[in-house]
Amino acid sequence: MTSEPDPTSEALLRPVRLGNAFEDTVGRLLETIRLGVLEPGESLPPERELATRLGVSRDTVREAIKSLADAGYLVSRRGRYGGTFLADELPLPSAEGIGFSRADIDDALRLREILEVGAARMAAARTLTAAERETLWSRLTDVRGAPREDYRRLDSRLHLAIAEVAGVPSVVPLVAQNRMRINEMLDQIPLLSLNIAHSDEQHEAIVMAILAGDADSAAQTMTAHVWGSAALLHGFLD
């Protein structure tokens, strides 16, 4: 017998932005968990239903569930009464992460969008020197092959390199300061393998757009990239 959907759950599990399907799916599931829509030990809707409600593939739902299970929020059980269930005890935020309010996160993310989307657009609009093009490609290569323990550092270096080739020297320290704040927040959430893979794809698209002089594409992809991080930060830290 199928129970009537909870209205709050219906409102939260709404279609996501397809450009960041995985990150938004994780964020939506975390919202239902952290807002108490699901009780400890309660089962999630079936994957097929979640995929339909979120407007994503079942593979995306499955990867989001796996990531949240790895992070300690969900447990999967096999057998006749199997399924995916909310953990009886949810992970507690670290002491360092308690100070981040929604306003803190929004402020840092909106400033990041202003700075980094603008920098990507301006970098693509410039005629880059051979050295600048080589630096961008080198930073991209570094982060694509980064071990997990170095990922945040090399990710930041790539974003700073994009700011550097925007041709506005005073924007670089602003991006650096903002990245430090963003990284403080990112350090409070788990590194999700699928998010890293997705970020790598977005990084390559951004750099390729800059090198091709496609300012609109560089800005659009950077916007999607920033929104992906925003979905995860709000999901885990709000």
Q: What are 74-124's pLDDT values in tens digits?
A: 998 887 777 899 998 888 655 554 568 889 999 999 999 999 999 999 999
46 three-class SS: coil
Name the pTM for this structure: 0.75
CATH assignment of the domain containing 225: 1.20.120.530
Q: Which residues contact 126 (CB under 8 A, 6 or more apart)?
A: 165, 166, 167
Measure the CA–CA gap between 195 and 229, rounded to whole angstroms.
9
Measure the CA–CA gap between 85 and 65, rounded to whole angstroms.
10
Q: For the residues 209-221, what does the mean pLDDT come to?
A: 98
Is residue 150 situated within a structural domain?
yes
Q: What are 19-76's pLDDT values in tens digits?
A: 889 998 998 898 788 766 777 888 899 999 999 999 999 999 999 999 999 989 999 8
CATH assignment of the domain containing 80: 1.10.10.10
Which residue is listed with tokens 């929020």?
73
Measure the CA–CA gap between 130 and 133, rounded to whole angstroms.
5
Q: Which residues contact 38 (CB under 8 A, 6 or more apart)?
A: 9, 32, 44, 86
Q: How many domains does the chain have?
A: 2
114: domain range?
A: 96-237
Asked whether residue 76 falls in the same domain as residue 126, the answer is: no
Asked whether residue 176 falls in the same domain as residue 198, the answer is: yes
Angle subtended by helix axes 215-237 and 118-125, to nearest 10: 160
